[in-house]
Amino acid sequence: RGDDTIIAPSSSRRRLLGSRSSGGTASGNGGSQSPYAPSGSGGSSASVHPSFRSKSVCKLECRYCEQSICGRGMKAILLADTRVELYSTDTVPSGRVQLVGDDYMTRNCQCRIRDVACLICGNVVGYHVTQPCEVCMGACNNGHFWMFHDDAVAAIERMDSSGQSVLVWAHLPFADRDAECFDRADFICR
């Protein structure tokens, strides 16, 4: 567990597109406001909290249909319940998942979240924090707002450019320069 990232917001468990459950729990553990802003689409290791820079980068796939979800995943645990393992990413998995349903909040924090479903099979594979709360933003977090349930995605550690070592967040390029962020179809001349 020492290698797991702690993140704040949580969501309901995996479910099929259109179904709804009671949600989960989330909380922060207090502490000072983090100076590390969410990295968004232009993020790099420079915007990742120093304690997360040695974490490995993972490629994530939907467990139901094997669709590639993202190439910038990070293994994480939930602040509110350290038994809950999940993955997160700093970039929008454009063309891979879709926001579904309405925003909702969990019982233990004021974060607004919305489920995300795989565009190929329709299964809910995680959630997006659409509006983080102050408590969660004040806790030690990785600045990621796209979360994926451990039992809904398969993770494969990503290798660095040499192919010899696992890529870590400290050496991950900016998202707009990361080949893993581009859909292969984007490179085809039209």
CATH of the domain at 39: 2.170.150.20
Residue 149 domain-assigned (yes or no): yes
Residue 131 domain-assigned (yes or no): yes
Residue 181 domain-assigned (yes or no): no
Residue 190 domain-assigned (yes or no): no
Residue 163 domain-assigned (yes or no): yes
Q: How many angstroms separate the CA atoms of 129 and 114, rounded?
A: 7
Band of the pLDDT at 183, cuts 50, 70, 90?
low
Residue 189 domain-assigned (yes or no): no
Interval 101-106 mean pLDDT: 94
Going 85 to 145 to 132 to 116, the CA torsion angle's sign is: negative
Parent domain of 119: 5-174
Residue 116 domain-assigned (yes or no): yes
CA distances from 173 to 34, 57, 142, 158 (A): 22, 11, 16, 13
Asked if pLDDT for residue 36 goes beyond 50, the answer is: no
pTM: 0.73
Domain total in the chain: 1
Residue 128 domain-assigned (yes or no): yes
The pLDDT tens digits of the residues spanning 68-91 come to 999 999 999 876 667 788 999 988
Q: What six digits make up the tokens of 122?
A: 């329709």
Total number of residues shown for the chain: 190
